[in-house]
Structures are given as structure tokens and as C-alpha cells.
Amino acid sequence: MNKRYIIGIIIIAVFLVVGFYAFVDTKVEYANFTHAVETHKKVQVKGSWVKDKETGFDASTNKFTFYMKDENNTEMKVVLDGAEPNNFKMAESVVAKGKVKDGYFHATDVLTKCPSKYEGDGQDVKKSSM
């Protein structure tokens, strides 16, 4: 076999392996904190910010820390690499992506869902007819 064919096959194999791992890494399932502790894999946890607990940004380590309750009311400390997410203090709910490490949830990304300014207040609007 020619060396070019062998090198080509090796390059294709490397791209396939890298592509497979990139795809697996982007597939992140939703879980609660209990499941996140058990799996040791990267997951997404949906919950709410515990406002009466310590929250803050440490500029020396570039980490934002807060406490969060998942949908089962399990509470855990969340440490995000980076600054406080936009609109964090107005958020109705929070989704943290990451994994449990050293007894806390180490987040690589935090998404917030804020109240929509386009939603009605629940009151019916009466139309007047002419």
C-alpha cells in the first residue's frame, strides 16, 4: 500500500474520533443535583437562586458563587468560571451547566430566564365596541 493512502486513512480516522468526542461533549442531559453527584458527568440542572445565601464574585479567581435549589428542592453551592450572568438578580429560574466536583457544582455556563416584559398581567382586556 502506498504511504499516501495510509496517511490519508490515519487522518480520516483522527477526524472521526475528534468529531465523535466533540459531539458527545455537546450532548448535555438535564438532571437534578442528586443525579449529578452520582454520574460525575457534565449535566444541566434547572432550578432557582437561593437569595438569602452567600452570593458574590471573586475577582482574584474570576469565579461567581451562589446557592441554587433544583426542582426537587435539593440545595447546592454553584461556582461559575467567570462573572455574574446578565440579569441574574432578576431571574425567575436558572440553568447551570457543569458537574459536581469537590462537594459543589462547578458550572461552566449559567443561563437565566427572566420575566418577560411582553407577557400580560393575567387580567382580561375589555374591548369597547362602537
Confidence of residue 94 (pLDDT cuts 50, 70, 90): very high
Domain tally, the chain: 1
Residue 18 falls inside a structural domain: no
CATH number of the domain encompassing residue 43: 2.40.50.140
Q: Over the chain, what is the mean pLDDT?
A: 84
pLDDT at position 130? 46
Locate all alpha helices (DSSP H) within 27-115, ordered by sequence. 33-39
C-alpha cell recorded at residue 113? 430566564
Confidence of residue 129 (pLDDT cuts 50, 70, 90): very low
Give, in order, the Cα–Cα distances in Å from 33 to each of 20, 80, 109, 123: 27, 15, 16, 37
Residue 77 falls inside a structural domain: yes
- Of the candidates 27, 40, 12, 10, the one whose C-alpha atom is nearest the C-alpha of residue 101 is 40
Q: Which residues, in sequence order, are CB contacts of 77 under 8 Å at separation 6+?
A: 65, 66, 67, 103, 104, 105
What pLDDT, in 10s, does the model give residues 48-80?
Answer: 999 999 999 999 999 999 999 999 999 999 999
Residue 91: domain span: 29-113
What pLDDT, in 10s, does the model give residues 101-116?
Answer: 988 999 999 998 876 6
Burial status of residue 106 (CB atoms within 10 A of its CB: 0-12, 13-18, 19 or more): middle
CA distance 43 to 12: 30
pLDDT at position 60? 92
Measured over the CA atoms of residue 72, residue 108, residue 87 and residue 57, the dihedral's sign is positive
Q: Is the pTM of this model over 0.95?
A: no
Residue 24 falls inside a structural domain: no
